[in-house]
Amino acid sequence: MLFILLLVLSFPLSYKQAISYLAQGEFKKADSLFKVAIFEAEESEKNDIFLHLELLIVYGKNPDIIKNYGKIESAFLDKDYQRTLKEWENTPQDFRKTPPGLYLNAILMEITGDYLNSAKVFEEIGKQSDPVFTPISLLKAALIHKKNLKNKDKGEQLLIELITKYPQSPYADIARGYLEEDKSIKSN
């Protein structure tokens, strides 16, 4: 959880404003600010910004999905978890079943410490073929298993699945790094 909070605090202002534009349905403005944020962001933040640009492309024909996503994420960025939960509860049922809705639900569970259910939802998304949320969900599920649930075998299995199914994904590169780290720990 601390990692998520530190990550949120470090994002450039343009990123936070872009999320606000998503919530307002101002997608062209959001797209422009995400592109600015790429140049302002630390290297470790860029994948999250690219995820949002992909969200705009893949879900562009479904503006309600993007707006609902933006409203919930905006509350996350404000660290207002009561508002986050309220925004989640006020979204339509059909949004909650989409990969973006499931992803945000899993994040909310992770933040509140419900690691087992969070991992389950991330794994559920990982079984889908959503180009935006499946790779990152596999990574998140793997990390929750490894770090929070102390199930290193399941975590490694999910990292390998990510690399196998999405070898060109930037999240696969991260997974490779975790697997390499595990190898070096085992050899010492």
Task: Domain ranges for the chain, please list them.
Answer: 1-79, 98-188
66-91 pLDDT tens trace: 999 999 999 988 888 889 989 999 99
Residue-by-residue DSSP string for 58-108: HTTT-HHHHHHHHHHHHHHHTT-HHHHHHHHHTS-HHHHTSHHHHHHHHHH
Q: Which residue has the higher pLDDT, 3 or 80?
A: 80
pLDDT recorded at residue 188: 63
Average pLDDT over residues 35-40: 92
pLDDT recorded at residue 43: 86
CATH numeric code, 98-188: 1.25.40.10
118-176 pLDDT tens trace: 999 999 999 999 999 999 999 999 999 999 999 999 999 999 999 999 999 999 999 99
Amino acid at 49: I
CA angle 8, 12, 15 (to 5 degrees): 80
- Is the pLDDT at 186 greater than 60? The verdict is yes
Asked if 25 and 62 touch (Cβ cutoff 8 Å), the reply is no
43-65 pLDDT tens trace: 888 999 999 999 999 999 999 99
- Is the pLDDT at 5 greater than 60? The verdict is no
pLDDT recorded at residue 177: 94
pLDDT band at 11 (very low <50, low <70, confident <90, very high): confident
